[in-house]
Structure 1
Amino acid sequence: MKKLCVALSLLIISALGSIAFTNIKTGGIIGKITPVDAASTVSLVAAKDTLSAQINQGVFTFTNLKEGVYTVVIKANAPYKDTTVERVAVKDSATTDLGEIKLQQ
């Protein structure tokens, strides 16, 4: 009985150890807004979570994202209109490039 308990304990510890050290693969989203000064903020929405990114020379980047589907919300400066890019898919260890996003007046 004692050997069985030791064997089960070792099995559980090794299983937990293998789970704890698995690599979580993350991806990202990048894009460029034109005109460069047309947007004030860029946010990323997934379910109830929201992230914001800085815009540098019209370029924004979101990193360390889990695999899933996201919505990118761009808040524009006047006279430009806010823009939403829906269903942006992120795969493990890949960066999704949205390319150039032209804001309309």
Structure 2
Amino acid sequence: MVAVTNEVVLQGRISRPPEPKVLPSGDTVWVVRVVVPRADGRAGADWFDCALWSGRLRRSARGWATDDVVRVEGVLRRRFYRTAAGPRSVVEVEATGARLVRRLTRPARRA
């Protein structure tokens, strides 16, 4: 029998600043979009939204910025929610770990 696992590891560039989202339940989740180049030789890239639920991960993400390179480990989840237009769902990586790999070199601030 083949073991079945749900493990995701992404390393890529952040395409926009991480942002907090307050859910109807009152819970807060931070979402970061990670852009990953395709490894199969085809041109292009894919992007994945990653949900950061734990306080430790959310605190880390506050210091990340667009074009920083991060590594995210987690599981693939499908989350269901309701809107005025009806039920919706989203597939995202639920992060169990994440870290900054390389910070975008930013110009020095002027005094």
TM-score when normalising by structure 1: 0.25
Structure with the higher strand share, 1 or 2: 2
Structure with the higher helix share, 1 or 2: 1
Higher relative contact order (CA 8 A, sep 6+): 1
